[in-house]
Amino acid sequence: MTTRRSASTSLSDTDIQRIAAEVEAGRSPRVWFTAAAVGIDEGRSGKVVAVADPAEPDYLHVLPTGSDDALAFSPDELSLTRPPRRQHTTHKQHHHADTTAPALFDDFDGHNRVGERP
């Protein structure tokens, strides 16, 4: 099932060439992880720190945000498209107080067991 967040596009050959040029120039371009990324939540970001041999399946070395270790990913697992921000909806829950007072002999489940024997 495709979600709105997973609709981001993976890296194209042109994107990879641009990323490689930026890394070669000493910059670390930001990328976002797609739903195809293994072990990283979709929509998280990271910085590309190295581009290895494209003959390898996972040749883009990315330092995920909040991590100290660079991990290898394939172009399908990364995107230059920043995902839309998550909408934080606040669900207001209305708690209605129970206005009925418990009877003197009500059990824990609310049943009146006066006169019942265990």
pLDDT by position in tens, the chain (length 118): 444 444 458 999 999 999 999 999 999 999 999 999 999 999 999 999 999 999 999 999 999 999 999 999 999 999 999 998 877 666 555 555 556 665 666 566 666 666 666 5
Q: Residue 7, SS3?
A: helix
- Supply the pLDDT for residue 5: 43
User: Are 51 and 74 spatial neighbours (Cβ–Cβ below 8 Å)?
Assistant: no
Which one, of 83, 22, 82, 9, lies nearest residue 48 by Cα?
A: 22
| CB neighbour list of residue 67: distance below 8 Å, 6 or more residues apart | 46
Which amino acid, one-letter code, is at 105? F
| 22 φ/ψ angles, rounded to the nearest 5 degrees | -65, -40
Contact 77/33 with Cβ under 8 angstroms? yes
In this prediction, residue 103 carries a pLDDT of: 61
**In the prediction, which pLDDT does 84 show?**
87
Residue 16 has φ and ψ, to the nearest 5°, of: -65, -40
